[in-house]
Every structure is written in structure tokens, then in C-alpha cells.
Structure 1
Amino acid sequence: MPALPARIAAAFSLFVSLLHAGNAAAEPPSRAESALLHDLVKIVESKANAGWKIDRYEFETMMPDALESVCGAPEKVRLAALARQARTVESLGGPITEAYRKNGGKLSGLSDLLAATRVHALLTEALQRAPAECPFWITPSPAFRGVQTDAYRFTLNLETDGIFLLRRTEGTFLPGAGAGGRLLLGRGFSHQWSMLFGLEFGGWAIIEQSEEATNIPLEFIGAVPLIVRHVRETWQFDLELAPVAFLTQSDLRPSAGGRVGVSIGVSTLRIRRIMPWAGLHLSAELYPANDVRGTVTVIKGGGRLGFDWDF
């Protein structure tokens, strides 16, 4: 029973504080407020991607991640974020129950409102729990940068590829398959944009079919990729440019070339400062003719796994 008065007191304190924070929603969000809302939107979207069932139980499973973010933000930031999210719900036609009724009892076309409502409900519940449940080792900071983001920090990224390819040399296309790995240093400039730079090594086997036999020669590359990454909560989109060196098992003298690539991926929530992600990539590489070999063109695609470490 002692917990009930504490919850009532926390709810009353939250209501009173919101009376003073209402005007903050009309102003541009602070960096800490944007970080908190970004975290909560990603938490809700990750849960929705996995399949949303009953609100009460979904909110309970999200609460540890939500509190990790809420507890790191000062109370002023928390309340400003709640006021802003309430305004977002209103601007999208909320409350959701009324919009659902007006929509003929259908959720189609209400996905943005539904997501915003869930974020608002999650933040409201987390704010009520925070005074009693925030751990002592998480200290609120005005410089809160978020947990579920790379914004305004350096990260170390390990990525591995599975590759299927077509290699064209002297007018002949040959298929192949292989793998690669790369280590990248990343810098987040906002919650939407990051840049990554590092080293990559990989290789593949080409299938050469002749009347006498089938050969599977090995070929290798080394690259220095530069990646611009656009992030939308759980989704990320990469544009990549890279100088590349190409060599073969039979001739280790390299050919210099370049690569243009794109990829799309989905990330999860951070686990012990590591944020895993998985996606698909497609790239084209061109190696102009030199004294070693003729012009080589490689079209590659496949899957990619990555691990983003907030060190």
C-alpha cells in the first residue's frame, strides 16, 4: 500500500510541472530533449517491428530501456519532451481513440498517430516511475546525448559481408561468392546523419568453366571506405565511396580502382553499449586497365551484419 501514495504524489507533481512546461513545446527542442524523444521513438518502433500485442505488457517490457534514457535526462528536459510529444499527438489528430472512431473503426492511415501515442504513453509512465526506480548510478545530465543513437559521439563499427558477384573482364562475365570485413570509426553529427571511415579487406572465389575443367581462383581486395549514413530511428541508409585495390591468386600485383555502393539496414536497441544491425548492400567497382591486367568491373551484392560500439 505505501507505493500507492507515492505513485499519486508523483503523478500530481508531474501534472503541476507540466503546467509550467507547456510553453516549451512551442520552442525548438534542446539537444537533450531531442535525444530523449529519439530514444523513446526508437524503443517503441523496435517493439512494434517485433509485433505489438497488448499495450500493458508491451510497455512493461520497454520500461527498462525507457528508464535508462529518462533517468539520464534532467527533469526539465523530461517534462519539455512530454509536453512536446503531447502536442505531436494533438497535431496528428489525437487522441487515438477518437481518431479511430472517426476512421470507421480502422487503424489504416493512423500509423503515425498510433506510434506517437505509444511514445507519449511510454514517457508518461516512465516519468511516474523515475523518482522511485531510477538507479543511483545514472546521474541526470544537461548534456544528455541519448542512448539509442550515435549522435554527437564517436563509435567503433565492425561489419562483415556475405558477397555474391559478377566480375567482367575482357567482355566476359563470371559469377563468384565470398566475404569481407571492415573496421570503421564513426562520428554522429546529429540523430539523422553520421559519417564513417576505415579499412576493409575481403575476397571471393570466381567460377571459371571450360571444356576441360572447372576452376575456382581466388581474388582479393583492400579498400578505404568513406560512408555517409542517414538514420531514421531503426532504419539506416548508407552511401559509400571507396578507393579499392584488386589482386588475384595468380598475380599479387594490385590494380587500383574505385567503388560506389549503397546499403539499407535495421538496427536493434543497444546491448551493453553495442548496437547490432543487419541489412543488404549493393555496389559497383571499376578497375581501369594497367600494366598488370585489363579493365575489371565487379558488381556485388549480399547481406551485411554490423556492430556499433559506443566506446
Structure 2
Amino acid sequence: MDVRQLEYFLAIVDRGGFNRAATALYVSQPSLSQAVRALERDIGTELFHRIGRRAVLTEAGRALIEPARSAVRSLETARASVAAVRELREGRLDIASMPSQAVEPLTTLIRAFSDDHPGVSVAVKAAFTARDVIDMVRTGAVELGLLATAGTVSEKEVAAHVLGRQRFVLVVPPGGSFAGRSALACEELAGQRLIVGQPGTGMRAYVDALREKGVDFTVAAETEHRVALLPLVLAGVGLAVVTDSWREFARQAGTRVLDIEPATTLDIALVSRRGVLSPAAAAFAAAAVESRTTDEAHR
């Protein structure tokens, strides 16, 4: 049994016979009759009594009308839903992002995407390391991922588009360390109390590399929760090394942001599974790459 057969059955019921139904459906009467016979074989009983040129519903035929209409309506609804998703009038897009990149550039990317496709909701999943993001994309938990890495993303597992770079900066409380400064040398972090992320994150890798170079500092706090960074800095617990995606947000919160010299950067990449993407994911990725191209053209 298929929905086309049910549509033919209902056409005969609504038009009062095979001839009128065939005309309305733009099919030949033999083709229509053959489809109805196939439906009757599937059901195991006759749906019409053929009396001359007339077709009179059997008891089984009358019983089929309501479920047939329900099935056809459900298919029409499904077709409309698929069309809406395909045309980006509705739907959902799942994206995994590392915390700092969820501040920027993800905020800007989602804003631009939502302006163009307001009916598509974006669900952001938390991922703390680049490996977490890649695994979530690779296994299909999400369609797209936003990550930061000091090296290139291996494209054996996912497809990657570099969207830009973010440098490391230092967030300090107002009126505290390095007053009146806009930048400092990385060696000046020696002796400071730092708030760091967990192993596997870019900010942790950066401060660990400083320690390996002989810059001795104290870890005042280690946190997986990026929302705790600025409150900890403002409370005087320590200073925080973050990417400059935090710059504007940190300033609005009342902290000061200093560039760390020499500049050390992370590549920001949007990753996806290889192969065909959903319409929403393809549109988001295309807009993200176009945004990077536009930004580079304006520099």
C-alpha cells in the first residue's frame, strides 16, 4: 500500500466514480483501476462493488475513508514541513562551540544567520576542547563546530574552514596590576596569580607554554566555567589570559584588557562532517566563510 493508491481511492469516492476520478487525476482509467486493484490486494478485500460503470463502496471501503484521508493529510504535512526546512523557513541547526568562540565569532555569525533565516533556531552545544568539537561533529551529535587551535585542523575526520585568528590578551581588574598600560610583555606575567582553564584548552596551553619558557606564575584558580572568569578577576582572585573574543565583553563588565606581546594567536575554524550538509548548515557555513572574505577585503 502506498499513499498514491490512497489518493486514487479517495478521488473515486469524492468524484463518484472511476471515469471522473481518472479525468481529475490526469491518468487513464485502466491505470486507475490497476492501482485500486493493487490496493485491494494489499488490504485483502474489495473496496468497491463494480456495477456496470458504477462503483459502490463496500463496507470495507467505507471503513477506509477516514484513515485514508488521515494518511494523505499526514503526507501533505510532511511534504510541507520538508519544503519549509529545505527553503529555510523553519528548522533547527545544532552547533558545538568552545567557550571563548561562543562569545565571538559565534554571536556575530548567529545574528547574521538569524536575520536572514528567522524561522530556523540555532542550538549551541558546549564543548571545552577542540577535540570535543571534532568528536561531536564527526559522530553526528551536531552538524557544525566552532573551535580554536594553535595548529591546523586535520581534515581526515572533518572538513574545516578557517574563519580568522584571535590573539591572547590579559584581563585585569580596574586600578590593579599594570595600571595605565595597554600592553605588556609575556615575561611580565612572572609572579602573577593567574586564573586558567582546564588542560586541553587554548588558554591553558598558552600559559603552560609560558611556564615551560621559564615564566613562573601562580595558578590562583582553574575553571571549566568561562562565565566565572570575569567575576573572579573583578573579585581580585587573579588575572586571566583569554582570547580577544572577550575584549569588548570584558570591558563592558568593568575590567581592563591588555595585549600580550609578542602576539600569539589561535586559528578559529568552522568544522563540518564531510559530504552533504543540511540546507541550514550549508547556509550557515557559506555565510561564515563569506563573512571572513568580506572582513579580509576591508583590511
Larger Cα-atom Rg: 2
Q: TM-score, normalised by structure 1?
A: 0.23
Larger helix proportion of the pair = 2
Tell me: higher relative CO, structure 1 or 2? Use CA pairs within 8 A at least 6 residues apart: 2
Larger strand proportion of the pair = 1
Q: TM-score, normalised by structure 2?
A: 0.24
